[in-house]
Chain A
């Protein structure tokens, strides 16, 4: 069977899987951005309890494997009476895992804002919340976006793991087609290509555009 007949027969199935992968990606992206903001700020709190919670969270999720967390959420939480749908479990595990990595990026970004900005905000008698919200946060985006972009490409790759908890995404479909037709080269090769195209020609340009936008917002034109 030629490659084109393969595509004509199974292309639509793979595309359906791709849509699910994109859904997983977008949902977990939103979740991880929120989590990393919250825990990044908590990590810098002067309150030792809050800081401790954030540190434990980050060390825990960075210290264990994503796959283990995913299986734990999907197969073990039901023991405690909390059954999540596969899609939700996948998004939650991905979001929480990458949120831990993102929190470290946010923390480093906040620390990288020049000290003079804090002092100036203090001197102008801004309230602490206003200081963070209006002065510091807007300035961290140009700093955190490049590492966050790398992390987001990692996230796209990590979405493949949700197939193992029965989310019907691109990987799952590829595996399924493989077990029916045994055309391994075609189905896994196509899946690899689709992931590559998504990362290289959609996700990365989008993130670069965000970087340029953020740099422009704070008055730093990117060359």
Chain B
């Protein structure tokens, strides 16, 4: 039983359509994660020790438990409290929360990457905190954060197949459905792998290029 090209060709349109869903899922999940990350960052940087501690525990908890069970948790438990969300919405919320914790670390690292003397100079010039963030710190922190943010975009993209377990009709879900219908898994799963490679390898290379450029701009020359 070899690879049947005619079958692969037959299911190609279906797979490409599902790929679109995967890309949308990754994009929306990423957008939510970017915002959630900001909230976690805020919790980390508030002066209150109690909020800091709670924030840290939540982040640790989300980071050290599997995304898969978090998906199940959100999908199956929320209805018990009267909140019924579609699979899509559950998936997006969970991915946003999960990767938001990672992104908050990226943001934190970037902010700490801005040298302390910048803050002192702003204090000396009597800039307000908001002004310091807006005009001095954030423009310097943003380039540092870009590679990390890019990495997690690729990471989210590669974790979208998990959404198929709660019934989101993305690429992997389509492959399983097609495979089950025709009782041939070789072609659908292989095609999923190839589509992922085609999309994520260039993305990863682009992120690496960005990283090199940021390092160069930062004066950290790599050999």
| A complexed with B | yes
Q: In the complex, are the beta carbons of A67 and B161 less than 8 A apart?
A: yes
The 0/1 profile, CB within 8 Å of A marked 1, for residues 154-176 of chain B is: 00001111100100000010001
Q: Say yes or no for A63: interface residue by CB 8 A criterion.
A: yes
**Are the CB atoms of B77 and A188 closer together than 8 Å?**
yes
Interface string of B53-74 (1 = CB under 8 A from A): 0000000110111111110110
> Nearest-CB distance from A219 to chain B (Å)?
26
- Residue from the list A157, A184, A185 in contact with B66, Cβ < 8 A: A157
In the complex the two chains form, is B193's CB within 8 Å of A185's CB?
Answer: no
Total interface residues on B, using CB and 8 Å?
36
Q: Complex: how many Å from CA A184 to CA B81?
A: 11
A184→B65 contact, CB < 8 A: no
What sequence of 0s and 1s flags, for each residue 24-49 of chain B, a beta carbon within 8 Å of any chain A beta carbon? 00000000000000000000000000
In this complex, the member of B63, B159, B190 whose beta carbon has the largest number of chain A beta carbons within 10 angstroms is B63
Interface hit among A86-94, A116-124, A139-147, A194-202: A194-202
- What is the predominant secondary structure among interface residues of chain B facing chain A? helix
- Decide if A129 is an interface residue (CB 8 Å cutoff): no
Overall SS of chain A's interface: helix
B70 touches A200 (CB 8 A): no
Interface size on A, residues (CB 8 A): 39
Q: Is the CB of A68 within 8 A of B193?
A: yes
B158 touches A66 (CB 8 A): yes
Contact with B along A56-67 (1 / 0, CB 8 A): 000110111111
The reply to whether A188 and B72 contact each other, CB–CB distance below 8 Å, is yes
Q: Is the CB of B197 within 8 A of A71?
A: no
A174's partner among B1, B72, B186 (CB-CB below 8 A) is B72
Alpha-carbon gap, A65 to B26, bound state (A) = 13
B76 within 8 A of A: yes
Residue A30 at the chain B interface, CB threshold 8 Å? no
Whether B193 pairs with A79 at a CB distance below 8 angstroms is: no
Whether B65 lies near A188 (C-beta < 8 A) is: no
- B60 engages A188 (CB within 8 Å): no
Q: Shortest distance in angstroms between A2's beta carbon and chain B's nearest beta carbon? A: 15
Knowing A63-B204, A76-B189, A164-B165 touch, does A184 contact B196 (C-beta < 8 A)?
A: no
Q: List 13 A-B contacts (CB under 8 A).
A: A59-B201, A60-B197, A64-B200, A65-B172, A68-B189, A72-B193, A76-B185, A79-B1, A158-B66, A160-B68, A185-B73, A188-B72, A200-B60
